[in-house]
Amino acid sequence: MADWPGKALAALKPSGSLWVFGSLRSFLASSAAFRNAGWKYAQELVWEKQNGSSFHADRFRRVHELIVQFYREDTPWRAVYNVVPTTPDARARTVRRKHRPPHMGWIDAGHYVNEDGGPRLMRSVIPVRNTHGRAIHPTEKPVALLEILIRTSCPPGGLVGDWFAGSGAAGVACRLAGRRYVGCEIDPVMAQKARDRIASVLPLGEGIAP
């Protein structure tokens, strides 16, 4: 696809950003195209899969994929929509007290409080099972993973543009997250499958009695 980064930038709001999946090899090869189109690097995540692939027996088995976020170079990062993601798996709040060692002289009683409770900042390595065995597209991404990216970088009711829609997984994630979606897919058969898949998912809260 010729100059798709430039076309994507032209459609992006100043407060928006772009998420791209790929390997380090692919990002090194395409870095000039992103830079020339006017994109600026923001951050990268690592998607850890439960299995992976290797082309040769003398290479490590690749069980990860990079997800890189870009934004417009003419927009300051503070103006880009970004909700810091958290996870609820922090340890419960604990109180640990110090005691006087028996082999030493008198030490006044003291204690300290270790506060571990509350949400934890989501880590940059995100383990999510891939879609092997149930995917309808060769490079289909997990809906749960895409929903994290969408909720982080697109406001509720905002519009997500998917330039390589494939199976429509991002569209499903948008329906679940309460975001609008428009996808582009060059394969008409796959486009229809994606359309049917997205249409079968109710937006979050729809059809649920108050």
210 residues of the chain, pLDDT tens digit each: 778 999 999 999 999 999 999 999 999 999 999 999 999 999 999 999 877 666 666 677 888 999 999 999 999 999 999 998 888 776 655 555 555 555 555 555 555 554 556 678 899 999 999 888 888 898 899 999 999 999 999 999 999 999 999 999 999 999 999 999 999 999 999 999 999 999 999 765 554 333
Residue 188 sits in a domain of what CATH number? 3.40.50.150
Cα pseudo-dihedral 115, 144, 125, 86, rounded to 10:
-20
Residue 135 is encoded by which pair of tokens? 């995917």
Q: Please check whether residue 110 lies inside any domain of the structure.
A: no
* Number of domains comprising the chain: 1
pLDDT at 119: 77
Q: Please check whether residue 91 lies inside any domain of the structure.
A: no
Q: Please check whether residue 158 lies inside any domain of the structure.
A: yes
Q: Please check whether residue 170 lies inside any domain of the structure.
A: yes
Q: Please check whether residue 93 lies inside any domain of the structure.
A: no
Q: Please check whether residue 177 lies inside any domain of the structure.
A: yes
pLDDT at 62: 84
Place of tokens 């409770």: 117
Q: Please check whether residue 96 lies inside any domain of the structure.
A: no
Q: Please check whether residue 210 lies inside any domain of the structure.
A: no
**Residue in 160, 210, 164, 209 with CA at minimum distance from that of residue 190:** 164
Whole domain around residue 137: which residue ranges?
Answer: 4-86+120-199
pLDDT at 149: 97
